[in-house]
């Protein structure tokens, strides 16, 4: 769920980088100005039962977590028509308890990425109904006991449809009540899935020409281009990766930290990266959006040499501006990546197509902010688009950069 919030920012980034007006970075492109994002939370409902398990296996009880999220980014190609892309998934996986009364417990993972068309039906100035229909990439990871597959994996395209009611707070904000459905698949032994959720849509709004010009001519520094060289080593540990993925264990306390990043089963022991970033959009002072490309080499703890080639969005927030430096934090997620190995240290990565995520903080320094230093952590995984998704944790990289 954490990944989905920024997923389609990449969708925006690639398009906007091609259509950005020459030297104009303080106004949205036409594409972005017709875009919105949506965040919703609610209950997810599915009827997993012993009927889904292989013959000879049963569980006396199950554990359910109804809480779920739905994250979308949309593009309005007409005022009442939009294309949406995003994800639906539960906060915690469904679990069969004490299978065959032998104390064996196992989760069933389920995740859906969706692409849909949305049609709005205006009721009055404040309310509108909507209907949507599309397709979902549904992934289920089952489980085995010994050599027996008790519930098989599944990966298939499912129909998706839904409806909702929205209340317009302003030109930017809409409140939403949503219902979303994916039908049962007998072929894939998958029960129907439905979700009821509540949330909001935020519609990006273009600034006027005068405001954009004022932003462009102010004194705040935003680099147009950055080239960076990074090195990391597992010798310093994976504490930052564990903390920001809520996986720190101290004494009797488990799962400490802040759940804003990911860890991974594979650990990179050495890493080296070359990165280029280019500005797409900047606000008056605080925020910028870049796109970037990178080439990364890492050696796993098991001695596997792996190369990864990525394109990605970068969200950068300036936290402190001073005469001699500008201090920032950045976050990059779901950068499409080609990775040269699909199995690393015995873990299944899914396929050679995966995603790169980074998070860090740094400074631009010097009188003209020509130089950059950054600390960042990295992660590779496919967001459960495929049934194999071990993930890679790359510990802190020390990054030096040059702006131009």
Q: Spell out, as residue ranges, where the chain has pLDDT lower than 70.
A: 1-24, 254
Q: Is the dihedral of CA 343, 347, 353, 356 positive or negative?
A: negative
Question: Residue 389 corresponds to which tokens in the numbers above?
Answer: 């998704």
- 146-173 pLDDT, tens digit each: 889 999 999 999 999 999 999 999 999 9
Predicted TM-score (pTM) of this structure = 0.81
Question: Which residues are CB-contacts of 246 (< 8 A; sequence separation ≥ 6)?
Answer: 255, 256, 257, 258, 259
Please tell me the distance from the alpha carbon of residue 365 to that of residue 32, in angstroms, as a whole number: 31
Q: What is the CATH number of domain 35-203?
A: 2.40.160.20
Please tell me the distance from the alpha carbon of residue 382 to that of residue 390, in angstroms, as a whole number: 9
DSSP labels, 188-257? TTB--EEEEEEEEEEE--PPPHHHHHHHHTSS----SEEEEEEEEEGGG-SHHHHHHTT-EEETTEEEES
**One CATH from 3.20.20.70, 3.40.640.10, 3.40.50.300, 2.40.160.20 for 216-403:** 2.40.160.20
- Which residues in the chain are classed under CATH 2.40.160.20? 35-203, 216-403
Please tell me the distance from the alpha carbon of residue 182 to that of residue 316, in angstroms, as a whole number: 36
- 329-369 pLDDT, tens digit each: 999 998 999 999 999 999 999 899 999 999 999 999 998 99
CA angle 193, 190, 58 (to 5 degrees): 115
């Amino acid at each position: 769920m954490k990944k989905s919030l920024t997923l389609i920012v990449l969708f925006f980034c690639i398009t906007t980088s091609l259509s950005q007006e020459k030297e104009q970075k303080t106004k949205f492109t036409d594409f972005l100005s017709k875009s919105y994002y949506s965040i919703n939370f609610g209950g997810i409902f599915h009827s997993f039962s012993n009927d889904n398990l292989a013959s000879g296996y049963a569980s006396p009880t199950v554990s359910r977590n109804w809480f779920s999220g739905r994250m979308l980014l949309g593009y309005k190609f007409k005022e009442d028509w939009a294309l949406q892309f995003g994800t639906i998934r539960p906060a915690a996986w469904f679990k069969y308890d004490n299978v065959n009364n032998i104390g064996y417990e196992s989760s069933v993972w389920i995740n859906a990425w969706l692409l849909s068309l949305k049609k709005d039906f205006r009721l009055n100035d404040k309310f509108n109904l909507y209907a949507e229909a599309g397709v979902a990439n549904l992934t289920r990871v089952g489980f085995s006991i010994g050599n027996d597959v008790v519930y098989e994996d599944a990966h298939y395209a499912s129909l998706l449809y839904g409806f909702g009611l929205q209340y317009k707070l302003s030109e930017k904000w809409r409140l939403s009540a949503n219902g979303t459905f994916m039908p049962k698949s007998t072929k894939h032994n998958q029960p129907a899935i439905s979700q009821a959720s509540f949330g909001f849509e935020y519609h990006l709004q273009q600034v006027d020409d005068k405001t954009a010009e004022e932003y462009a001519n102010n004194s705040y520094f935003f680099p147009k281009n950055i080239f960076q060289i990074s090195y990391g080593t597992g010798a310093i540990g994976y504490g930052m990766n564990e903390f920001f993925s809520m996986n720190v264990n101290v004494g009797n306390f488990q799962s400490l930290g802040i759940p804003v990043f990911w860890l991974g089963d594979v650990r990179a022991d050495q890493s080296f990266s070359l990165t280029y970033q280019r500005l797409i959009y900047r606000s008056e002072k605080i925020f910028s959006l870049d796109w970037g490309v990178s080439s990364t080499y890492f050696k796993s703890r098991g001695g596997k040499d792996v190369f990864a080639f990525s394109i990605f969005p970068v969200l950068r927030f300036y936290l402190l501006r001073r005469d001699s430096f500008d201090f920032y934090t950045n976050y990059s997620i779901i950068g499409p990546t080609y990775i040269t190995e699909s199995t690393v240290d015995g873990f299944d990565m899914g396929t050679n197509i995966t995603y790169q995520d980074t998070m860090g903080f740094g400074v631009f320094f010097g009188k003209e902010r020509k130089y950059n230093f950054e600390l960042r952590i990295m992660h590779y995984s496919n967001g459960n688009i495929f049934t194999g998704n071990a993930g890679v944790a790359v510990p802190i990289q020390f990054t030096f950069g040059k702006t131009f």
